């Protein structure tokens, strides 16, 4: 699958009163009506309990300038939020600024997928802080970013 170029995103939620986030590259559009997206998350990830128990989450579509942020949230660390100014959505999800866009979602269903869980999410709103035509997306291909 490394030969298939994918966009990169960070998903966030709040768990036990703390902001939680993780980098993903499994974001897929499922339906326009109703608006649905899915992502997959490994069951052994440190953040797995947070996302398996939450009802709401935010999916941040990253720009090409956000590779350091992407790499940070790919690591199982607790200090992602130390120097990151963020706000909170009405549903309690941490919102990372300056991304290409943010999908505010409510989890619809989950499905078993081997060592991963597949999360199907209903998009409740979309936020965009910038003119997307000016920015390029962060892409992952053959183990490298471009």
Percentage of the chain exceeding pLDDT 90 = 76
Identify the CATH number of the domain in which residue 87 sits: 2.30.110.10
Please list, in sequence order, all residues whose beta carbon lies within 8 angstroms of the beta carbon of residue 122, skipping any fewer than 6 positions away: 34, 35, 36, 105, 106, 107, 108
Identify the domain containing residue 32 by its residue range.
6-141
Total number of domains in the chain = 1
9-64 pLDDT per residue, tens = 999 999 999 999 999 999 999 999 999 999 999 999 999 999 999 999 999 999 99
pLDDT at 2: 76
In a domain, 36, yes or no: yes
pLDDT at 42: 96
pLDDT at 119: 98
In a domain, 78, yes or no: yes
What whole-number distance in Å separates Cα of residue 122 and Cα of residue 146? 29
SS3 state of residue 21: strand
In a domain, 1, yes or no: no
């Amino acid at each position: 699958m490394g030969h298939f170029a994918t966009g990169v995103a960070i998903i966030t939620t709040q768990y036990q009163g703390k902001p939680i986030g993780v980098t993903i590259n499994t974001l897929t559009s499922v339906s326009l009506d109703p608006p649905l997206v899915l992502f997959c998350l490994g069951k052994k990830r440190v953040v797995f309990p947070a996302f398996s128990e939450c009802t709401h989450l935010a999916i941040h579509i990253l720009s090409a300038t956000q590779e350091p942020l992407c790499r940070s949230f790919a690591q199982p660390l607790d200090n992602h939020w130390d120097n990151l100014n963020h706000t909170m959505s009405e549903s309690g999800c941490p919102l990372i600024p300056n991304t290409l866009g943010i999908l505010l979602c409510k989890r619809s269903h989950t499905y078993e997928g081997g060592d991963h869980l597949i999360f199907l999410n209903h998009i409740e709103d979309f936020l965009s802080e910038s003119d997307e035509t000016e920015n390029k997306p962060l892409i992952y291909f053959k183990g490298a970013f471009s």
